[in-house]
A and B are shown apart, each in its own frame.
Chain A
Amino acid sequence: MEQTKRIDGLIVYGVIYLGFLYLPILLIPLFSFNDSIYIAFPLKGFTLQWYEAMIAQDALVRSLMNSLKVASAVAVISTIFGTLAAKAVTGYNLRGKAPVVAFIMIPFVIPGIILGISLLVLINRLGVTPSLLTVGLGHIMIAIPFSMMVMISRLEGLDRDLEEASMDLGEGVWSTFWRVTFPLALPGIVASLLLTFTLSFDEFLIAFFLTGKEATLPIFIFSQLRLSQKLPNVLALGSCILAASTVVIAAAEYIRRRNLRSDRQSGLGV
């Protein structure tokens, strides 16, 4: 009896916990289909007009494209740097490794607002015009530590013997990388791409300071919040992003699980 009681309590706790996490998020798609400009109960009726309005809104679509562009570039570039840095840190006994890693990790803990202001000051001094490029560079700066963390945990589990075995069997450094290290690091690389993409995609503070005429999506959404009649468009957009990220996360989890089984045997970390 004691046992069942406790499990019941856990279930109640779990339901409340999940509700707390997801109910607010679920309100977004709910109201995006609501036939009213006001976000309030009771619901007035079903409509797709906010989605039509969203697609018709040029500035919105443009800012979405801007964000996708910046986020893709940031994801690829920071993952390349993060992977190489992680490889250096895990593969070789470099002198002064600890301070170098700490140094690279610093952007991780600096508040975004400080970073944004300092970068703005810097590019002004250099005479560079704020643009999507500067936003991208700022994002790369904060994304590299994230990528590096993901890649270090992946590469640390990777058996160094495997690379030596490849060399022993006649392959050079680069072909060993492509034939052994890369395929084994791939789940980590995918995770790093997803993480850094998301990081850049919804980053507001740095983008706010460094963006020029072209807004990224979070900047655009922020500007829309002041106009209440545009709010339902933002909800429609939010629902689309929610759906897209759910699909991406599910796909990533599927890939990770598929790799998990073979990893366990080969002594690779998760």
Chain B
Amino acid sequence: MSELDAALTVFSQEAEELLTDMEDALLLLETNPDDSETINSLFRAMHTIKGSSGLFGFNCIVAFTHEAESVLDLVRNGERVIDAELISVLLDSKDHTAKLVEHCLTQPDTPIPAELSAVSERLIKQLTGRQETAIQQAAEKSSVESEGGGDISTDDNWLISLDFHYDAFRDGMDPLSFIRYLKTLGEVKEILTLAPDMPTGDDMDPENCYLHIKIAFQSDATKQTIEAVFEFAAEDCDIKILPPNSKIEEYLRLLDQQADTHVQRLGDMLINVGALTKNDVDHALQHQHADSLTEIEVPAKPLGEILVEQHVVQQPLVDQALKKQEQTKQKLASEANYIRVDAAKLGHLINLVGELVISSAAMNLIVERHALTDAGDVAASMNALVNSIRDTALELRMVQIGETFSRFRRMVRDVGKELNKDIELYISGGETELDKTVVEKINDPLTHLIRNALDHGIESAEQRLAAGKPAQGTVQLNAYHESGHIVIQIADDGAGLDSERILAKAIANGLVKADHDLTQQEIYNLIFAAGLSTKDQATNLSGRGVGMDVVKKNIEALRGSVEIDSVTGEGTTITISLPLTLAIIDGFMVGTGQDRYIIPLSMVDECVEMNPEECEIDEIQHYINLRGQVLPYLRLGDYFSNQIIDSNNKRESLVVVKFGQVKAGFVVDHLHGEHQTVIKPLGKVFDNLKGITGATVLGDGNVALILDVQGLINSAIKYQSSSFHRQIKTNLSGERK
């Protein structure tokens, strides 16, 4: 669904609600004509519909509601008395507005039919009190009727085409017998017997059937009945039965009347109205399938096109069916897709689901502990259910990021104007879903980053042309899913970051020492430090050096991360990585000593037993050599200063975690396996705790801590001995490329 569609959905929903309110209000007025509050609500309904229709350019609605609004304004100001007559006109107007809205939503590209505009005019006249003469009204009516009618096609013959295969005679078919039988169903108006590919002279085999017969047939029989005549010939004959034009009208009408409670497939719709038989559709589908097998590169033809090509159905029918299908889809989308739910209720539900996950884990534990085999099956199936409830509940909160993205279009346009730069915003991946709370919180950081891209990133048109780039700058906004995270990228094709200047500024501000040993990447990341702006002159948009640090903080508060990459002269890409949800994750539980920790499963790369063949541990230089790959590592037990209870346990395991492209190893005592983790935030007291982002309650009532993998990886890298420091880092950045 595009953003416009989403907006239209909201519009149609809103209009529907307002019109329902209006109807209620009008009915109330009938008994209580002096209620000013009710009159106000009437006015507001028309006013709001007018306003939002104007936004979408639905001028016919604006024109009509404007009149109604004016009348209601008079009523509101006491300049016009509301009586039964006006109420009934207003009720008609309400119905008419609903029709106009429906028309604008379903066929936005076609002008409103004469019928509707005639009603508009009539109602406007009634509303404004200019009573039209009866003659005028009658004239209008008759013109409507004459338009409504239409030429009834005289061509009401079925067209039947029988192309017999060569073997038809040998298989005992006699084409003549079918036609004799057909005559019992109706009248054969025209019949053409052709043998277009009959060879000449000696090549002609009289036992081959070369006959092609075309029949114009008049009958009231249904397509199914007619097809049944040729049932026995189906093997030896290509049968095409095209309904008469007069039938088309009927089919079109039937198509229109089809219930739009669910979206049907095209073939099913045409079968239901009788325009096609199941055989026709099966045949066409086989054809489609065969095509897609032979021509891999070419996308399969739409079914409708095949059906028309095979002469089993007329184009208008397919068009109508497709239109109907689209309408139904839209109607369903507007009717059923949305239920507005209080966010608090949803939050409560998700909390409950979280508790359910925990207590189901507790139950599993008990079932396991007491070895209750009977209960095991029940527990397993309940577990599966709890899992799917959890996923569904979390999905409820998922929204597409597209809406957030499209808000930036306006901003890019306005800011571009202000800065006198021509900038185009490209959006991709708008359908990527993430948790609503995350979406809300990411809006500000995104705004800031995009402003930066517009202000700092994109150069002025002259500079761009001088650099051999098109005058129009581009900013790309992209979102996609990657290993349990959503990644949002903001890329501009501007000048790129000037690392010299960043560094100079950072040194001047005392952020880094002059004898630094920072990589290019680290220098770029300095712009996230507080109090650093490379823009010499601050504008009202950006450049004051506050903001980027806030951006980073906001993103980190969402357990996300932000990275920046830049190529001088070619542009800057900022990559934000966020967890999909804040509530429940699939975790991987490990243990050291008696403590348990949860690592988000999406970040676990692999688990290996610590044996000398596979991995060597270098305690002095603090790295692990895993099959030739050098990884920084942490001993979780040491890091969190756990008491070592069982010092004899030497069967340590290594969990390799990955964040972005960086890997590290955690050395743990036990691997407990996958665990559904309900994230419980830690209190303010624990704010300064490094390496932990939250906690969870286990089934047995114990608490496990959720590891901040990103932070721990950074710590692991720092732990490496300084002599080895640089080498590892080049290794890592090498991997990154």
Chains A and B come from one and the same complex? no
B→A interface (CB under 8 Å): none
